Amino acid sequence: MLSPTQKRASLLASGAAVAGLLISSLAAGGVSYAADNESCRPDGLYKTPGVDVPYCSVYDTEGREKMGADHQRRVIGYFTSWRTGKNGQPAYLAKDIPWDKITHVNYAFGHVGGDNKLSVGADGPDNASTGMTWPGVAGAEMDPEFPYKGHFNQLNKFKKQHPNVRTLISVGGWAETGGYFDDNGDRVNSGGFYSMATNADGSVNQAGIDTFANSAVDFIRKYGFNGVDIDYEYPTTMKDAGNPLDWQVANARRAGLVKGYAALMKSLREKLDRAGAADGRHYLLTVAAPSSGYLLRGMETFQVQKYLDYVNIMSYDLHGAWNEYVGPNASLFDDGKDGELAAANVYGSAQYGNIGYLNTDWAYHYFRGSMPSGRINIGLPYYTRGHKNVQGGTDGLWGKAAATSCPAGAGLTKCGDGAVGIDNLWHDKDTNGQESPAGSNPMWHAKNLEKGIVGDYVTQYGFPANTTLTGTYARKYDSTLVAPWLWNAQKKVFLSTEDEQSVAAKADYVVDRGIGGTMIWELAGDYGWNAAKGQYEMGDTLTSLMYDKFKAATPYGAKKSNKALPTQAVNVGVEFTEFKLGDSNYPITPKIKITNNTATALPGGTEFQFDYGTSAPSNASDQSGFGTKVISSDHTGSNVGGLKGDFHRVSLKLPAWQSLAPGASVDLAFNYYLPVSTPSNWTVNINGTTYALAGDLARGTTTVEPGTTTPPTTPPTTEPTTPPTTPPTTPPTTPPTTPPTGCTAPAYVAGQVYNGGSLVSHKGHTWKAQWWTQNEEPGTTGEWGVWKDQGAC
């Protein structure tokens, strides 16, 4: 029988702060007014109604995450439970994490139990998360402060030394999305996310969702995590997506998976917000999202982005042994020659606009259509994918490697000829316990292959000590794709890799485009050179490279729109509905449902405008008489070498004969050809005045009635994006006309109301208010308080 660690050690599973700030409130005239946490809310992030979410404990007043002075961009590393060393293979423990080089650690994985609760299994000395110990291993000593042992003890021990690093519990993964591993290491086909969030008839399982979300709050409080990362693979309507072991449960629910996913993320967001308000700290909610245009086509418009602090794109596994097409695991750009896309006539179809969608840049622009660049992180694989017996191509690139049979349990009738043996060190097992061909290796092993070195660790993976290599593994690199690989001409083996050149280029890409950062699967794959042994081993070369690239970078992009939008918003709802399922959804033809939730009729001819991402070509249209047309484009033509801009701007108008009364809705049939995330940056021109839409959740907007400058008298059905910008009226206090000697700012006056940005002098220093305040003396509110010391004056 395989051990739990062997069964968990699945490369395919990669499909994937400290004390908070308490904000005071003021009661004046019988009205409670909360300090301005809204000033720290990231642009576009959903705010739970009625909750004063302590965003300022995590974000600054521009809505950017505070990660330490030398961390301008995120470096998020997945840390896995199974590399414990207890199975005889090299260990990667919390002590091995380069804590000073990263910003977040995602712990992989928790799972959804049969009771719909978040779990890491039963406590006990063999539980890697909560019970295991490593006697005699320097740096792995348990911290007696915590009532649990295992990795969780170690993560919290090192977080005390590195308080800017945040940890999240990641739930799911390829192997545990639709089931989980029990304490014996056997997989239990419980249904996981699929049945917890979606009933057998396709309806939302709200009871299951609530059970899970409540357990997630309890879990992170108990074990000291800063948030929850959902790695649900995959809530898509595409048939036979995800782990074949899950298809029996998942396929029957395909029509309801997207709605269940959205309900799950909304419930998690709201419960985490309520818990955070009670605890005085903002809890993060993130996801690992697919990058494949095929999978995303079945996820409608990825409606969950508004609930997420940020999204981590799994921009890897873009080519592999699940089919015969040989290509990079995680290329940055398209080169117009992708064999899989060429076979599907993507490059020959005018409807696709010659846009290749199996690359990181395409996936980034998909999410950029609905999110600020700073709330997006691109994924980097610290592992290889590869084929053997490759025919054609250039040094294997864009060749083919068809297999004569597929691994047991793969659910495939046709697959690729994956590399095996010494070229497949981090392999999975099939359902018969046999090696699953995939060309999966940590980067440190790939570096040794490149240098012709047989590392001494091979005996720990079942190879004899006298193992020799056949052929030469020549490093190749394509600068258009930004993709390195190893090519063994004698064995016809192709292994897609990452190294300093490709990671440096991807880091520059992140910096240049204002992207939030990078996500790594998984930290244990990084490499370092052991001069004493003459071999590469686990290290932090690539992670350190990214840290160095990011530490002096400019702040990341914090706005959804790249142009100024109105500061007044109206409550006109927009929803994309009636998506066709699976392979029937090409072209993509949802309905756009516009609902007038204001008290003012919208006249015929009212114009709406919105942006959608350049992940789809600029040929969107409608079939309903609304005159839908693209009026400007940041990108035209193919995407060889990268998409040049972020948005297409669309105009549509209510037909001249059709007004929209208060409370009324109208539908139009929308038409496009490649997936986009939820179109955003909406405006509507009502009787000559242009407004934003409240549903875009933009920072700095106030919801008003059309034709007025005041909020509506009846609360709108969509939560307003901001609290009142003016605090309750208080009796004015006249400050002294002369500030203290040597200071230029007015003296602080107890009882006076100060807004964010106000400068005062007090006790020989100048102080700046971070948000609205009254009766909080400068110098007494602490490092995270309302008053920030500007220095002596």
Tell me the per-residue pLDDT of 743-769, one tens digit each, with 9 for 90 and over.
Answer: 888 888 886 767 667 888 888 888 887
Domain of 624, CATH number, reads 2.60.40.290
Q: Which of 760, 756, 738 is nearest to 748 (CA)?
A: 760
Domain of 757, CATH number, reads 2.10.10.20
Distance of alpha carbon 733 from alpha carbon 752, whole angstroms: 6
pLDDT tens-digit readout, 560-569 = 999 999 999 9
Q: Is the dihedral of CA 73, 57, 156, 217 positive or negative?
A: negative
Q: How confident is the model at residue 478 (pLDDT cuts 50, 70, 90)?
A: very high
- Name the one residue in this structure whose structure tokens are 């316990």: 433
Tokens of 245: 């072991």
Same domain, 46 and 1: yes
Same domain, 239 and 276: yes
Average pLDDT, the chain: 90
Distance of alpha carbon 435 from alpha carbon 422, whole angstroms: 12
Residue 443 lies in a domain: no
Residue 432 lies in a domain: no
Same domain, 251 and 290: yes
Q: Is the peptide bond before 522 cis (omega within 30 degrees of 0)?
A: yes
Q: Do 643 and 614 touch, CB atoms closer than 8 A?
A: yes
Same domain, 183 and 235: yes
Q: Is the pLDDT of residue 718 over 80?
A: no
Least confident of 77-86, 539-548, 714-723: 714-723
Same domain, 748 and 697: no
Same domain, 691 and 744: no
Same domain, 611 and 737: no
Residue 404 lies in a domain: no
Residues 6+ apart with CB under 8 A from 477: 483, 484, 485, 501, 502
Residue 394 lies in a domain: no
Residue 160 lies in a domain: yes
Task: Give the SS3 label for residue 547.
Answer: helix
What does DSSP assign to residue 12? G
Q: Give the number of other CB atoms < 10 A from CB of residue 337.
A: 18
**Average pLDDT score over residue span 573-601:** 95
What is residue 784's predicted lDDT score, i.e. its pLDDT? 57
Residue 496 lies in a domain: no
**Average pLDDT score over residue span 516-538:** 98
Residues 6+ apart with CB under 8 A from 297: 236, 238, 585, 586, 588, 674, 675
Q: Which of 269, 289, 314 is the last residue of a domain?
A: 314
Task: Give the SS3 label for residue 739.
Answer: coil
**Average pLDDT score over residue span 227-256:** 96
Q: Is the pLDDT of residue 714 over 70?
A: no
Q: Which of 237, 244, 225 is nearest to 261 (CA)?
A: 237
**Average pLDDT score over residue span 55-79:** 97
End-to-end CA distance of the chain: 73
Domain of 167, CATH number, reads 3.20.20.80
> Which range of residues forms the domain containing residue 21?
1-63+71-314
pLDDT tens-digit readout, 69-110 = 999 999 999 999 999 999 999 999 999 999 999 999 999 999
Q: Is the pLDDT of residue 13 over 50?
A: no
Same domain, 689 and 752: no
Q: Do 678 and 301 touch, CB atoms closer than 8 A?
A: yes
Residue 197 lies in a domain: yes
What is residue 628's predicted lDDT score, i.e. its pLDDT? 96
Q: Is the pLDDT of residue 365 over 90?
A: yes
- Name the one residue in this structure whose structure tokens are 């090192």: 158
Q: Do 644 and 542 touch, CB atoms closer than 8 A?
A: no
Q: How confident is the model at residue 774 (pLDDT cuts 50, 70, 90)?
A: low
Residue 345 lies in a domain: no
Q: Do 134 and 92 touch, CB atoms closer than 8 A?
A: no
How many CA atoms lie within 13 Å of 65's alpha carbon, on the beta-carbon side? 29
Q: Which of 784, 770, 709, 588 is nearest to 38 (CA)?
A: 770
Same domain, 124 and 179: yes
Number of domains in the chain: 3
Distance of CA 275 to the CA centre of its chain: 21
Q: Which of 281, 314, 347 is the last residue of a domain?
A: 314
Q: Is the pLDDT of residue 204 over 60?
A: yes
Look at the chain and count its residues: 793
Q: Output 75 or 17, whichever has higher pLDDT.
A: 75
Distance of alpha carbon 362 from alpha carbon 644, whole angstroms: 11
Q: How confident is the model at residue 737 (pLDDT cuts 50, 70, 90)?
A: very low
Tokens of 383: 């592992």
Residues 6+ apart with CB under 8 A from 512: none
Q: Are strands 118-119 and 166-172 parallel, antiparallel or unpaired?
A: unpaired
Same domain, 662 and 786: no
Same domain, 774 and 663: no
Same domain, 615 and 651: yes
What is residue 346's predicted lDDT score, i.e. its pLDDT? 94
**Average pLDDT score over residue span 618-635:** 94
**Average pLDDT score over residue span 279-283:** 97
Q: Which of 314, 339, 367 is the last residue of a domain?
A: 314
**Average pLDDT score over residue span 172-182:** 96
